[in-house]
Amino acid sequence: MTARRRQADKSWRDFVAEFNVNYFPQKALDRMEARFLELTKGERSVREYDRKFNRLLVYAGRGMEDDQAQMMKFLRGLRPDLRVQCRVSQYATKTALVETAVEVEEDLQRQVVAVSLAVQPKKTQHQVAPSKGGKNA
C-alpha cells in the first residue's frame, strides 16, 4: 500500500486528532473542554446557549458522541424552571429538545410580561384629570 493510499484511508476523526496534536496545544484543548463541561444557559437565550453548546461540543472528549449524552448535558445546563418543563417528554434528537426549550422559554417570558402588566398600579382619576383651576389635585 502506498503512502498516499494510507493517507486516504484515514478518517476525518484521525485527521482532526493528528492536527490537534501538531497545532493545538493540550492545554488549550483542556481549557476548551472545561468551558464545555461548565457551560450553562445563564442569561443567554436557549438559542444562544445551543449555539455555544454546539461550538464547544467538539472539545467535549469521550462520552458526548451520542445524542442521549448531549441531551442530558444540555438539560443540566438549563435553568431549573426550563429543565423541569423539558423533562416531561422524551426527545428523539437534541434538536427536538432545543425547540421545546425555546417554546417553554417563550411561554415563560409571556407569563412574566402578563403578570407585570397585571400588577402595575392603575392611575386614579385624580392623577389623570386636572382639577377645575387647571392644576392637578
Q: What is the pLDDT of residues 11-27, one digit of tens each?
A: 777 887 788 788 888 89
pLDDT bucket at 78, cuts 50 / 70 / 90: very high
Structure pTM?
0.68
Given a cut of 90, whether residue 124 has pLDDT beyond it is no
Q: How far is CA 73 from CA 46, 47, 102, 109, 127, in A?
A: 14, 15, 16, 24, 53
Q: What share of the chain is helix, strand, coil (3-state, %, to 5)?
A: 65, 0, 35
CA nearest to 46, candidates 92, 1, 106: 106
Gap between the Cα atoms of 33 and 56, Å rounded: 7
C-beta of residue 97 within 8 angstroms of C-beta of residue 91: yes
* pLDDT at 39 (0 to 100): 96
